[in-house]
A and B are shown apart, each in its own frame.
Chain A
Amino acid sequence: MIAARSIASRLFFSAIVWSLCLLVCTGVVIATLYRSSLDRSLDQRLNVYLRAIVADIAAGSDEARGEPGQLGEPQFQLPLSGLYWQITRLDSGQADIKSSRSLSASKLPRLADLGFEADALGVRSGNVVGPAGEKIHILERQIDVGDDGVFLIQIAAATEDSEYQFTTFVIYLAITLAVLGLCLVILSALQVRYGLRPLHVLQDEVRAIRRGESDHISGVFPEDMRPLASELNLMIGFNREILERARTQVGNLAHALKTPLSVIVNEMTQDQSSSSDKVVEQVQIMRRQLSYYLDRARTAARYNVIGVSTEINPLIEGLVRTFEKIFRDKSLQFDIIMNENFLFRGERQDFEEMIGNLLDNAGKWAATAVVISVEAVPQSDLHNLNHYFIVHVEDDGPGLPPDLRNTALLRGGRLDETKPGSGLGLSIVQDLARLYGGSLELGQSARGGLRASVRLPRI
């Protein structure tokens, strides 16, 4: 499937296409108008000469007829100057042609013979090849002055000048329109960029929420985007509300089930009958199953929740405070080694559950001390945009042989029944870590005991 073009490129390219079309059309229209203006101007100029000659002939003066070119235009006197007149008497039966000196010995062709049609005033106009081989524009009119005869009057001018003017004009027009087009391209790009900026801001805000750097969209948006931002905030809030509700329900369920289980266990413990042991045993199984599936339910409720991040230092300190109290009779030393405060990309409760289980495990086995240390994972793969940190929990207890470490990670895998616990701790840590794209590894601590290392995503 071909990926859809971005909105920016859609807007930009459509703006460019429309702009270019408009510019080309504008250029063509302006050039055409200029061309017709030039032609009209030439026609008007020749028409003036034509009417002057017509006036001379109509005056009936032979002298004037013989030299009607007193038009005040020196170009009529210069040979092959590009400006010509020619008067041909049509009713004499013989060739009676008079022309300007500029025509020399040449004659102007008759447009009527070349098939040009006359207009309403009886004037023909057309472009033909002139006496010097140049392009000329001819105005031709036949007048009848009664007894004085019928004359064909022709005025011609070379079109070279107007062609030159037109070409020059077109070049300047093209340059102007090209510059205008370039400006439009730049302005379109700026306009698209400016217009879509709120969208980019929104994109950045949503990304920040997904990464857990923010918990709601807070930017200032244009009026037409505000409903979208507000809907997104509502959706994020709703998502969080569902999570909170699920968590509360799970907590209530835990309370609702575990209290009666306590009553049953204690009632049965006092009962001396043979069935009571079986009941107590089954209740213990129910307790384990309940804990396991409630944990899964909590985790499932939390999965894919966006916009969550957790500062880990206070959590580790809080857990250590708790474990110092829990293991106070054992006088365990808890040491924290943290050079940096990382932000865990996930829920506080999950982080506490993972590290709490590891500390609980370490505390049960440690002889004198438990060390918790945190370090950043160097980012080796540039394509992998996720950053991680590792929390190591080490103890100075007996440790765990490599072949038993996998067993310890299995659900219910208890390697020593003399220690309290359900056997779910490390399995829960592993499941939760995997859910967040991390991992749990067990190894040998330099202090002699177990070293549990949980890798988790950070911001």
Chain B
Amino acid sequence: MRLLVIEDDRDLNRQIVNALEQAGYAVDRAYDGSEGYFLGETEPYDAIILDIGLPQKDGLSVLEDWRKAGIKIPVLLLTARDRWSDKVQGFDAGADDYVAKPFHMEEVLARVRALLRRSTGHATSDLICGPVTLDTRAGRVIVNGLHVKLTSHEYRLLAYMMHHAGRVISRTELIDHLYDQDFDRDSNTIEVFVGRLRKKLDVDIIQTVRGLGYILIAPEADNKSVPSV
């Protein structure tokens, strides 16, 4: 999953980005409203963490402009102005959740997980696809009751596919959502990671849809859900 952090305080920005990267997300960063707005408008993020007090363009204006432009990426507001009037204003501008400063990083991580979960229509933090369970809170993968150790890239790939299980995902979409903007993108690496993931999971849940991409599907639902090619 690929996230964007827009926070003008460089220390806080670094802390949030580090925490999110450690939690397995690909993260881009911006330090002012204009840059943040541009990235949010042009890159396909899965969620955005947006501070309200930003130079050049304040967070609420950025959010309102995104919503006017039809960008529906879930947004978590960071705000030092924690009065209810500020929160109402934030939600009315199109925010999906808020965290009041000062905050613990666990709180931000929990809110981001909840945002991603809700935006992909999942009710709980455990994402299940057949014998595979992804515990988004602990960042663990369990297959048939056994813990499977994955690298961060493999985890990102599985997490994205688990969030969008049952839907065909193109290689381009995977590249867009698994790597931050500084990463050297090569679609061949995706095939390498998918191969490794299939091997580690040792269950046939990732299917290749020729010419389109991949689909994550539980083995028993296999025949019903695979689109014909």
**A residues whose Cβ falls under 8 Å from a Cβ of B:** 251, 254-267, 269, 283, 287, 291, 295, 298, 315, 318-319, 321-322, 325-326, 328-329, 348-349, 352-353, 355-357, 360
Shortest Cβ distance from A251 into B: residue: B81
Q: Are B92 and A318 in contact (CB under 8 A)?
A: yes
Bound CA span A257–B12, Å:
13
Q: Are A318 and B104 in contact (CB under 8 A)?
A: no
Q: Are B9 and A263 in contact (CB under 8 A)?
A: yes
From B53, B102, B105, give the contact of A261 (CB < 8 A): B102
Chain A CB within 8 A of B173 CB:
no
- Most chain-A CB neighbours within 10 Å: which of B88, B102, B103, B105? B102
Minimum CB–CB distance from B125 to chain A (whole Å) comes to 11
Give me 25 A-to-B residue pairs in the complex whose CB atoms sit less than 8 angstroms apart, sorted by A's number. A251-B80, A254-B82, A255-B53, A255-B80, A258-B80, A258-B100, A258-B101, A259-B101, A261-B101, A262-B15, A262-B102, A263-B12, A263-B15, A265-B102, A266-B19, A266-B104, A266-B105, A283-B102, A318-B88, A319-B88, A321-B91, A321-B92, A328-B118, A348-B85, A360-B84
Which residues on A sit within 8 Å (CB–CB) of B87? Answer: 322, 356
Q: Are A259 and B9 in contact (CB under 8 A)?
A: yes
Shortest Cβ distance from B91 into A: residue: A322
Shortest Cβ distance from B8 into A: residue: A259
Bound CA span A267–B18, Å:
11
Which residues on B sit within 8 Å (CB–CB) of A258? Answer: 80, 100-102
Minimum CB–CB distance from B27 to chain A (whole Å) comes to 15
Q: Are B97 and A325 in contact (CB under 8 A)?
A: yes
Q: Are A322 and B11 in contact (CB under 8 A)?
A: no
Chain A CB within 8 A of B96 CB:
yes
Q: Are B101 and A262 in contact (CB under 8 A)?
A: yes
Which residues on B sit within 8 Å (CB–CB) of A356? Answer: 83-85, 87-88
Interface of A is mostly: helix
Which residues on B sit within 8 Å (CB–CB) of A251? Answer: 80-81
Q: Are B85 and A353 in contact (CB under 8 A)?
A: yes
Minimum CB–CB distance from B112 to chain A (whole Å) comes to 14
Chain A CB within 8 A of B114 CB:
yes
A-B pairs with lowest CB-CB distance, top 4: A356-B84, A261-B102, A258-B101, A255-B80
From B15, B53, B96, B100, give the contact of A266 (CB < 8 A): B15
Q: Are A255 and B81 in contact (CB under 8 A)?
A: yes
Contact pattern, B 101-133, Cβ under 8 Å of A = 1, otherwise 0: 111110000000010001000000000000000
Q: Are A287 and B102 in contact (CB under 8 A)?
A: yes
Minimum CB–CB distance from B50 to chain A (whole Å) comes to 14
Bound CA span A356–B114, Å:
23
Bound CA span A263–B80, Å:
13
**B residues whose Cβ falls under 8 Å from a Cβ of A:** 9, 11-12, 15, 19, 53, 80-85, 87-88, 91-92, 96-97, 100-105, 114, 118
- Most chain-B CB neighbours within 10 Å: which of A298, A319, A355? A319
Q: Are A291 and B11 in contact (CB under 8 A)?
A: no
Which residues on A sit within 8 Å (CB–CB) of B12? Answer: 259, 262-263, 266
Shortest Cβ distance from A284 into B: residue: B102
14 further A-B contacts with Cβ under 8 Å, apart from A251-B81, A261-B102, A353-B85, are A254-B80, A254-B81, A255-B101, A257-B80, A259-B102, A266-B104, A267-B11, A267-B15, A321-B88, A321-B91, A322-B84, A349-B85, A352-B85, A356-B83
Q: Are A353 and B15 in contact (CB under 8 A)?
A: no
Q: Are A322 and B88 in contact (CB under 8 A)?
A: yes
Minimum CB–CB distance from A158 to chain B (whole Å) comes to 99
- Most chain-A CB neighbours within 10 Å: which of B92, B103, B114, B118? B103
Q: A266-B104, A266-B105 are in contact. Are A319 and B84 (CB under 8 A)?
A: yes
Q: Are B91 and A325 in contact (CB under 8 A)?
A: yes
Q: A263-B12, A322-B88 are in contact. Are A269 and B83 (CB under 8 A)?
A: no
Which residues on B sit within 8 Å (CB–CB) of A315? Answer: 88
Minimum CB–CB distance from B182 to chain A (whole Å) comes to 23
Shortest Cβ distance from A420 into B: residue: B107
Bound CA span A262–B82, Å:
14
Which residues on B sit within 8 Å (CB–CB) of A329? Answer: 114
Q: Are B96 and A325 in contact (CB under 8 A)?
A: yes
Shortest Cβ distance from A324 into B: residue: B91
- Most chain-B CB neighbours within 10 Å: which of A259, A269, A349? A259
Bound CA span A315–B89, Å:
11
Q: Are A349 and B103 in contact (CB under 8 A)?
A: no
Which residues on B sit within 8 Å (CB–CB) of A256? Answer: 80
Minimum CB–CB distance from A249 to chain B (whole Å) comes to 12
From B9, B11, B92, B104, give the contact of A269 (CB < 8 A): B104
Q: A267-B15, A318-B88, A318-B92 are in contact. Are A262 and B83 (CB under 8 A)?
A: no
Minimum CB–CB distance from A360 to chain B (whole Å) comes to 8
Bound CA span A261–B100, Å:
11
Minimum CB–CB distance from B73 to chain A (whole Å) comes to 16
Minimum CB–CB distance from B199 to chain A (whole Å) comes to 34
Q: Are B105 and A269 in contact (CB under 8 A)?
A: yes
Bound CA span A254–B80, Å:
6
Bound CA span A269–B104, Å:
8
Minimum CB–CB distance from A21 to chain B (whole Å) comes to 65
Minimum CB–CB distance from B169 to chain A (whole Å) comes to 26
Q: Are B9 and A349 in contact (CB under 8 A)?
A: no
Q: Are A352 and B91 in contact (CB under 8 A)?
A: no
Which residues on A sit within 8 Å (CB–CB) of B15? Answer: 262-263, 266-267
Q: Are A265 and B80 in contact (CB under 8 A)?
A: no
Bound CA span A360–B83, Å:
12
- Most chain-B CB neighbours within 10 Å: which of A257, A318, A328, A355? A318
Q: Are A262 and B103 in contact (CB under 8 A)?
A: yes
Which residues on A sit within 8 Å (CB–CB) of B118? Answer: 328
- Most chain-B CB neighbours within 10 Å: which of A266, A319, A348? A266
Minimum CB–CB distance from A412 to chain B (whole Å) comes to 17
Which residues on B sit within 8 Å (CB–CB) of A322? Answer: 84, 87-88, 91-92
Which residues on B sit within 8 Å (CB–CB) of A287? Answer: 102
Q: Are B84 and A357 in contact (CB under 8 A)?
A: yes
Which residues on B sit within 8 Å (CB–CB) of A265? Answer: 102-104
- Most chain-B CB neighbours within 10 Å: which of A262, A269, A357? A262
Which residues on B sit within 8 Å (CB–CB) of A267? Answer: 11, 15
Minimum CB–CB distance from A244 to chain B (whole Å) comes to 14
Bound CA span A372–B103, Å:
30
